[in-house]
Amino acid sequence: MALPRELKPSSGTEGFFQTPPKLENQLHEDRFLRRIFEFYIPKAEQPALYSTLAPFAASILTPEIFAYVSNAEAHPPTLATHTTFGAPTQTLRTPPGWQILQSLAQRSGLVAAPHLPFATYIARTSQFLANHLWAASCALTSCPLAMADGAAALLSCHLSDPTLPSLERAVFAHAFSRLTNLDPKVAWTSGQWMTERPGGSDVRNTETVARLAPFGPNDPRTDADGNALGPYLISGFKWFSSATDAQMTILLAAEAPGVISAFYAPLHRASPAGGIESNGVSIQRLKNKLGTRPLPTAELVLRDMRAWRIGALGAGVREIATVLTITRVQTAIGACGGWGRGLAINRAWARVRRVQGKLLVDVPAHMRALAAESVRYAGAMALAFFVVALLGVVERLVSFHSVSGRAGIKGLVGSTEGARLLLRLLTPVAKARCADRAVAGLVKAVEAMGGVGYVEDEQEINVARLLRDGIVNAIWEGTMDVMAADVARVVCGREGPLAKRTFVRWVKENTDTWEAEWEGIRAALGHEVRFLEAIWERGEEEIKYRGRRVLEGLEWVVAAVLLVEDARRDGNGVAREVAWRWVAYERGKSTEREDLERLWTESAAWDRKIAMGEDGRGATQANL
């Protein structure tokens, strides 16, 4: 018996579009990402890097990658606590999709690239261009890889110290080589254990304790790789620990009340009876979370975990700052990466979705909204990748005489010392503001697709997953207020006067070179800088109270300078419009580029170019 017509199953596509939305290579299609590439990568090196990045960008949009993401989402980590016969066990299982994606990232050098012996100051920019592309296709394997990156940076600092004892040097060198290995069968990831029940981001409340203890006759002496175990025993409880499947960790523990030190520990050790056992670590339970479902996050109990101290007694906060710098930059770029993918999905949707007989790309109101989000994304990208470029300069102690060209990092920062101070000031700004903007931007990306944006089916256009996972960036490595307090510590600390002068001088030296057409923006930035200086003259508590406003002001000024510099680089009309709109949108003031005196049809034409590309329809052709 035939079903009545109205009950026949539908293909699901009638009325939506003639062909489904299809993502394109973001290195080609995302004009803002491409301009970052052209701005920071020296022209002579662009073809070689492009030949590597473009295939990578294409490969992560394949059905195979999305199938791995689906597998990781559908099968979150599990913890077996007992065997079939009731014997206690600790078996953490992660899905095949998660494992394959992590291996792909390691093989692609997403951790190793900036740590290789021949890496230059642009290695960080190259790495984070790839990480930006990878962020939305990785099922959050980026989290343990970010911590591996930070751990490698910290160990590298100590390996460069000629006074490091030979035994510690051998242990640290082995861990570093594992973290930066391109072979997934060899490479390690790392945990970063700081959060505890009473403290959250306030590590002064650390209850985990470390004590120097001699080895007993039956104690294990080596880790799972045969390296010497450390002389410290660490016990405590870590309440929120991601990368539970890692092979090592960097953690904080108290050696005395208020004396917090940093430690390195492998997660497994050789058992005296033969075989491998846990290095004093047990999982109490896995966390049930809003997002980041494939990521194994757990509560950990530490009982006499053998560890090596990193650095001096009580220097834990200073040591962990090296790791936090990397992971905060990773968070900022990861947030922008998820947001960028959301915008790419919106563009793909606009090219095929019809509403009242028109494609969305031909609906001016839709293009206006998408253009506004694109401008905000451009500002976040400008800030985030400037911090990345500063990181590359500081890590490699670049002589600025070796960096050519007005565009890029040399034209923006005059010295390595200036880069170091700006990096310290702007890293928490980038982390806080990019994460916050990305969450708001992904909400808009869901809205732009209507009900389709709210469902989770095909991973290729799954904006809802990006939103779920993106929310964690506003929390991980410190909330907005924590980042604001960090900025307050910078401007009120020992190097505060120098950091403030460096920032003010940076703005002035760059804006003083601008042509008359940019006078309106230069004047607005000067006013904002004076306002920030006035706040910075107040006490630290008031600076913290006004901390969010300080973060917003620093972001607005830095991004405006960078967007103008990008527009001046080649005189691109869309880049000029984006720079003016950034200033207008973020201060609620009209400008000659965005007011009622301009014909709305002229603004609409710019909307379409900003949102969809130079031709106003879709993908922008790459220049390389």
**If you write DSSP's letter for every residue of 4-30 in order, what string do you get?**
PGGGSPP-S-TTT-SS------HHHH-
- 500 neighbors 535 (Cβ within 8 angstroms): no
Quote the CA–CA distance of 186 and 44 in Å, as a whole number.
34
pLDDT band for position 206 (cuts 50, 70, 90): confident
| Domain membership flag for residue 149 | no
326's enclosing H/E stretch is helix 316-352
620 or 304, which is more confident:
304
Least confidently predicted of 15-24, 348-357, 458-467, 478-487: 15-24
Q: What pLDDT does 584 receive? A: 87
Quote the CA–CA distance of 127 and 299 in Å, as a whole number.
31
At residue 160, φ and ψ (nearest 5 deg) are -80, -5
| Domain membership flag for residue 211 | yes
Return the bridge partners of 594, or none: 591
Show which of 315, 344, 359 is a domain's final residue: 315
| Domain membership flag for residue 139 | no
| Domain membership flag for residue 20 | no
Give the pairing type, strands 190-193 and 88-93.
unpaired
CA nearest 486: which of 131, 123, 165, 201?
A: 201
Q: Where are the alpha helices (DSSP H) in 160-267?
A: 166-179
- 402 neighbors 350 (Cβ within 8 angstroms): no
Tokens 């790392």 sit on residue: 190
pLDDT band for position 198 (cuts 50, 70, 90): confident
Return the bridge partners of 209, or none: 235, 254
| Domain membership flag for residue 556 | yes
Question: What mean pLDDT, rounded, does the chain reach?
Answer: 91
Tell me the residue type at 158.
H
Residue-wise pLDDT for 593-608, tens only, equals 455 567 889 999 999 9
- 587 neighbors 556 (Cβ within 8 angstroms): yes
Count of domains observed in the chain: 2
Q: What pLDDT does 146 receive? A: 97
Instruction: Find all residues with CB under 8 Å of 61, minimum gap 6, and list them.
Output: 23, 24, 25, 137, 460
CA nearest 307: which of 253, 264, 254?
A: 264
Show which of 256, 287, 315 is a domain's final residue: 315
Q: What pLDDT does 144 receive? A: 95
Sign of CA dihedral 499, 505, 510, 514: positive
Instruction: Quote the tokens at residue 468.
Output: 């779920």
240's enclosing H/E stretch is strand 232-241
355's enclosing H/E stretch is strand 354-355
DSSP 119: -
Instruction: Find all residues with CB under 8 Å of 596, minimum gap 6, and list them.
Output: 590
Return the number of other C-beta atoms located less than 10 Å from residue 204's C-beta: 10
Residue numbers of the domain that contains 302? 190-315
DSSP codes joined into one string, 153-179: HHHHHHHT-TTS-HHHHHHHHHHHHHH
Show which of 315, 340, 368 is a domain's final residue: 315
Mean pLDDT along residues 468-477: 95
Instruction: Quote the tokens at residue 584.
Output: 């207008």
Say whether 223 sits in a helix, a strand or coil.
Answer: strand
Length of the chain: 624
Instruction: Quote the tokens at residue 578.
Output: 């984006």
| Domain membership flag for residue 277 | yes
Is the pLDDT at 308 greater than 80, yes or no?
A: yes
pLDDT band for position 323 (cuts 50, 70, 90): very high
Q: What pLDDT does 621 receive? A: 43
Instruction: Find all residues with CB under 8 Å of 539, minimum gap 6, and list them.
Output: none
Is the pLDDT at 622 greater than 60, yes or no?
A: no
Quote the CA–CA distance of 134 and 94 in Å, as a whole number.
20
Instruction: Quote the tokens at residue 528.
Output: 């904002």
Any idea what the CATH number is for the domain that residue 199 is in?
2.40.110.20
Q: What pLDDT does 327 receive? A: 97
| Domain membership flag for residue 91 | no
Mean pLDDT along residues 129-148: 97
Quote the CA–CA distance of 141 and 102 in Å, as a whole number.
6
Distance of CA 256 to the CA centre of its chain: 34
Among residues of the chain, what percentage have pLDDT more than 70?
91
Identify the top-confidence range among 38-42, 185-189, 198-202, 399-403: 185-189
Is the pLDDT at 17 greater than 70, yes or no?
A: no
Is the pLDDT at 1 greater than 50, yes or no?
A: no
308's enclosing H/E stretch is strand 298-310
Q: What pLDDT does 405 receive? A: 45
Tokens 């072979």 sit on residue: 183
Is the pLDDT at 400 greater than 80, yes or no?
A: no
Is the pLDDT at 414 greater than 80, yes or no?
A: no
Please classify residue 277 by burial: count the beta carbons closer than 10 Å to its beta carbon, then call 0-12 exposed, 13-18 middle and 19+ buried. Answer: middle
CA nearest 266: which of 237, 305, 235, 295?
A: 305
- 180 neighbors 116 (Cβ within 8 angstroms): yes
Instruction: Find all residues with CB under 8 Å of 107, minimum gap 6, and list them.
Output: 182, 183, 184
| Domain membership flag for residue 205 | yes
What is the tally of helices (H) and strands (E) in the chain?
20, 13
Cα→Cα distances 30→14, 89, 346, Å? 29, 48, 12
